[in-house]
Amino acid sequence: MREDTLILLPGWALGPSLLEPLARTLRERLPGLSVLCAGYPELTSHRPESWVAVLDRELPQDAWLAGWSLGGMLATALAQWRGRQVRGLITLGSNASFVARPGWPEAMGTEIFVAFRGGFQHSPARAFARFAQLSAQGGRDARRLGSELLQALQATPRDQALAGLALLDELDLRDVLGQLRIPQLHLFGDNDLLVPAAARRAIAKRLPSLGRTELLSGVGHAFPLERADETAERMAMFLNQSGQGQSGQWSGAST
């Protein structure tokens, strides 16, 4: 019997290890599902299509695609690239456009983003600390979570982090979400300081019938790390309700 695979992509300038607790919980809830925490290729290209092409080549085909923050945006772009060779899409704290654009104010202001990118070029250490703080805020243990994030961020080469910022600036997936004819789940945190709650409502309006959004309460941007159990529960319920488990390969799943 074929085993389904779910791929998890991490956030900006982060490796896959931070998502392993979420992956482990998913494996417990869906014993027949193979969950892969994928790292990013060592690319410095500022062109999103270059990243998507490499991800398409290196990651398993015919899989569920999921990701946190930038990872969710790249998962969406990869789903568009692969077309119907994708089982479904799950994003965690991701926006259709990370930076505000005409007709899409539900995002980070352009001036704020440009200032952050300039600050990163001048002092990566200070920018990493600021990003870790913003990501961790809104949850129950912001200090511990911020420290964990900062340690992971500091291991990322400067040129790769800059390339990731370029992706956040360039990726515009507003129309893509409505074009995908696959099951979609988009999870958001109500206290997220990087992806405003209003983005959830704006995205919900663009989704086809197979897509939906959900809001987690009392969490910030890093909810997949801080609340891995609740995040996994929402993901597992969505995966089961999608009908993919009807053949029995996910028997024993807890929803």
- Residue 69: active-site member: yes
Options 94, 97, 135, 221, the catalytic residue:
221
- Residue 123: active-site member: no
Q: How far apart (Å, rounded) are the C-alpha atoms in residues 215 and 122?
A: 36
Provide the token pair at 154.
Answer: 């500091």
Q: How far apart (Å, rounded) are the C-alpha atoms in residues 175 and 235?
A: 24
The identity of residue 26, as a single letter, is L
HEC letters along the chain = CCCCEEEEECCCCCCHHHHHHHHHHHHHHCCCCEEEECCCCCCCCCCHHHHHHHHHHHCCCCEEEEEECHHHHHHHHHHHHHCCCEEEEEEECCCCCCECECCECCCECHHHHHHHHHHHHHCHHHHHHHHHHHHHCCCCCHHHHHHHHHHHHCCCCHHHHHHHHHHHHHCCCHHHHHHCCCCEEEEEECCCCCCCCHHHHHHHHHCCCCEEEEEECCCCCCHHHHCHHHHHHHHHHHHHHCCCCCCCCCCCCCC
Provide the token pair at 119.
Answer: 């600050």
Options 4, 97, 186, 192, the catalytic residue:
192
- Residue 192: active-site member: yes
Options 69, 94, 97, 135, the catalytic residue:
69
Query: What contacts 238, CB < 8 A, 6 or more positions away?
Result: 90, 183, 185, 212
**Active site members:** 69, 192, 221
